[in-house]
Amino acid sequence: MPSDQASVQPATSSVDFEKVGSDYFQQRELKKGAAGWVLLVGLGVAYVISGDYAGWNFGLAQGGWGGMFLATLLMATMYLCMCFSLAELSSMIPTAGGGYGFARSAFGPWGGFLTGTAILIEYAIAPAAIAVFIGAYCESLFGIGGWMIYLAFYIIFIAIHIFGVGEALKLMFVITAIAALALGVFLVSMVPHFDVANLLDIPVTDAKGASSFLPFGYVGVWAAIPYAIWFFLAVEGVPLAAEETKNPKRDLPRGLIGAMLVLVSFALLILVIGPGGAGANALLTSGNPLVEALSKAYGGSTWMGHFVNLVGLAGLIASFFSIIYAYSRQIFALSRAGYLPRKLSETNKSKAPVLALIIPGIIGFGLSLTGQGDLLILVAVFGATISYVLMMAAHITLRIRRPKMDRPYRTPGGIFTSGVALVLACIAVVAGFLVDPRVVIGAAIIYGVLIAYFAFYSRHHLVAGTPEEEFAAIQNAEKALH
């Protein structure tokens, strides 16, 4: 950690840095070496696996099966290209800031803040959407849902994270493995009932380009994109574990790419076999589509349905649990650097940032009370896609401006790969407006409030000597020598 003798970084025309003592960083330390690359693969899958259990099916109502299938192919391409790009960035800049650190290095404090807060919107809102789906599964299983379930899950899993990251990540890994097993049971159970005609049973509308493959026309492909993203949303959070990883330069690329390959496989299998066995029209609005699919295929309740319902809850819990980890690390990094109130980054004896866990949990619980899981997905996707645009722009910028930087892992295809992800991310930003522009505008207003906080206050009170700022200072010094 930086010492209290570290010099204050010079103010630029837009930001000011303040010197802090070594005790500041001692109160803001994470647990080192808690995760290897296998655990990181598990973390990446855990972030996302709830998307296989619920939420993706709303895309069928926007684009039909064909529209959702094409949207999923496009978003799988975007995420694969993005993960290859982030693998390079995370090996270069292994800090808890993740995307914020990458953009900070490429574009300075403003770029870092805009990226970090976009990621924060994604991670703070996604657990609220997942809580709604958890409530639907609990209602189906136990006859109890609603606010009591949302509150119980927030309290229990925030408490586990406060206890310690090593224990939390290991528990998450076990839960994720169980959830993946249930997906396997679902797929094997649905294969005998697969019929191509079931994929195309949504009534055709009079939209332009409408057909049995695209019942809502060409625009349906675009409108389905936010829900195709739900198959992969948050896998980019793996680099947030950088400061708690044994060998980040090696393990982060392995964790990112390994997790993404697993997720692409699950997404395509679920999207083809689920509606192909039960009928796409039967799953349009379901809160627990896998259980609904089994019930439809087998003509009622079965042991497989009960098993997938029960263990499917584990899949939702895995994502809920791990994204809580992600938002706390994003807040920790932004707060430690002074972009957000500094109190949020203080850690306890277990090296867990307590307030960074609790405060977004309170906000998320409040949002979950709306019960609108599909609309909360739109808000999370808005933050995510803004951050994707900025992170891919950061990859391209650093490749062009800083070609000699040490890159332990290099993206296959270089800036062509990140360029593909950038173009697709720009398309995805606009897609949410096709579903419900009011929700996306509301998310943009929240983003604007955070930007105003930085513009009027925190940019004048940034902290010198944080890992992200130290890295930027080293870059500037090296640049001056050339």
User: What region, left, alpha or beta, does residue 97 occupy, with left being phi > 0 and alpha being psi -120 to 50 degrees?
Assistant: alpha
Averaged over 107-120, what is the pLDDT? 94
Averaged over 109-125, what is the pLDDT? 93
pLDDT in tens, 85-112: 999 999 888 877 788 889 998 999 999 9
In a domain, 11, yes or no: no
Average pLDDT, the chain: 88
Give yes or no for residue 81 having a pLDDT over 80. Answer: yes
DSSP class of 287: S
Quickly state the pLDDT bin for 127 (edges 50, 70, 90). very high
What the block records as the tokens of 264 is 């692409």
pLDDT in tens, 402-439: 898 889 999 999 999 999 999 999 999 988 888 888 88
Residue 31 contacts residue 165 (beta carbons within 8 Å): yes
pLDDT in tens, 446-464: 999 999 999 999 999 999 8
Q: What is the pLDDT of residue 165?
A: 60
Comparing 69-83, 94-108, 182-196, 235-249, the range with the smallest average pLDDT is 235-249
C-alpha 129/C-alpha 320 separation (Å) is 9
Half-sphere exposure of 308 (CA within 13 A, CB side): 26
DSSP class of 311: H
Give yes or no for residue 24 having a pLDDT over 50. Answer: yes
Residue 355 contacts residue 27 (beta carbons within 8 Å): no
C-alpha 365/C-alpha 371 separation (Å) is 10
In a domain, 13, yes or no: no
Comparing 13-22, 149-158, 472-481, the range with the smallest average pLDDT is 472-481
Sequence-ordered list of residues with C-beta below 8 angstroms from that of 376, at least 6 positions apart, any chain:
125, 126, 128, 129, 132, 367, 368, 370
Q: Are strands 17-18 and 462-463 parallel, antiparallel or unpaired?
A: parallel
In a domain, 4, yes or no: no
SS3 35: strand
pLDDT in tens, 302-360: 788 888 888 888 888 888 988 898 899 889 989 999 999 999 999 888 888 999 999 99
In a domain, 57, yes or no: yes
Quickly state the pLDDT bin for 3 (edges 50, 70, 90). very low
Quickly state the pLDDT bin for 10 (edges 50, 70, 90). very low
Residue 211's domain is classified under what CATH number?
A: 1.20.1740.10
In a domain, 481, yes or no: no
Q: What is the pLDDT of residue 5?
A: 37
pTM over 0.75: yes
Q: What is the pLDDT of residue 6?
A: 39
What b/e string do you get for 243-279 counting C-beta neighbours within 10 Å, with b at 16 or more?
A: bbbeebbebbbbbbbbbbebbbebbebbbbbbbbbbb
Averaged over 208-226, what is the pLDDT? 94
Q: What is the pLDDT of residue 260?
A: 95
In a domain, 328, yes or no: yes
In a domain, 10, yes or no: no
Report how many domains make up the chain. Answer: 1
In a domain, 90, yes or no: yes
Residue 156 contacts residue 267 (beta carbons within 8 Å): no
pLDDT in tens, 242-298: 777 778 888 889 999 999 999 999 999 999 999 999 999 999 988 889 989 999 999
C-alpha 297/C-alpha 344 separation (Å) is 49
Q: What is the pLDDT of residue 174?
A: 85
Domain that holds residue 40: 24-472
